[in-house]
């Protein structure tokens, strides 16, 4: 008769260990997202110094090639032959200079490669090509 009494007891699932695991995973994700946020500093009055310098912000130099193939540096027309020297004088001693090439989409590939070659001859200038995001 004992076998029949045991058969009448419904099967039970103990969910306490599952809840413990879920809370452990939730705690892990909460703690990991706290480390992903950017830590801001407290507002303080910084000391002054006569010899302080501004931080080096990368110099942005814009080389534009319009639809007719005319080249200009920072909105000043120039020739491709003089491009290297103009960019070199604008870069100066700043090794973090970024040269952005704005070229019309109708300009031939060869002209852009020539402009890029002239810019790459300047030591320390980083090259970037401006694009427009699709609408």
Q: What is the pLDDT of residues 94-123, one digit of tens each?
A: 767 888 888 888 888 888 899 889 888 888
Confidence of residue 21 (pLDDT cuts 50, 70, 90): very high
Give buried/exposed letters for 20-40 (b at 16+ CB in 10 A, else e).
Answer: eeeeeeeeeeeeeeeeeeeee
pLDDT digits (tens, 9 = 90+) for 64-98: 888 888 888 888 888 888 888 888 888 877 767 88
Q: Could you tell me which residue, 73 or 54, shows the higher pLDDT? A: 73
| pLDDT band (50, 70, 90) for residue 41 | very low
Mean pLDDT for the stretch of residues 44-49: 52
User: Beta strands of 53-103 (E only): which ranges?
Assistant: 60-65, 71-73, 76-78, 98-103
**Bridge partners, residue 86, by sequence:** none
- How far is the C-alpha of 117 from the C-alpha of 63, rounded, in Å? 13
Q: Which CATH class is domain 60-129?
A: alpha beta
Mean pLDDT, all residues of the chain: 77
Q: Give the per-residue pLDDT at 45.
A: 45
Which pLDDT band holds residue 19 (cuts at 50, 70, 90)? Answer: very high
CA–CA distance, 79 with 77 (Å, rounded to integer): 7
């Amino acid at each position: 008769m004992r076998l029949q009494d045991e058969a009448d007891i419904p099967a039970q699932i103990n969910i306490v260990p599952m809840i413990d695991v879920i809370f452990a995973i939730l705690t892990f994700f909460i703690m990991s997202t706290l480390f992903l946020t950017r830590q801001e500093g407290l507002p303080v009055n910084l000391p002054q110094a006569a010899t302080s310098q501004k931080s080096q912000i990368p110099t942005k130099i814009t080389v534009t090639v319009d639809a007719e193939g005319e080249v200009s540096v920072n909105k000043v027309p120039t020739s491709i032959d003089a491009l290297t020297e103009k960019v070199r004088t604008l870069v100066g001693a700043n090794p973090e200079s970024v040269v952005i090439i704005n070229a019309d989409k109708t300009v031939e590939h060869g002209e852009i490669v020539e402009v890029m070659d002239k810019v790459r001859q300047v030591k320390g200038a980083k090259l970037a090509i401006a694009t427009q995001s699709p609408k």
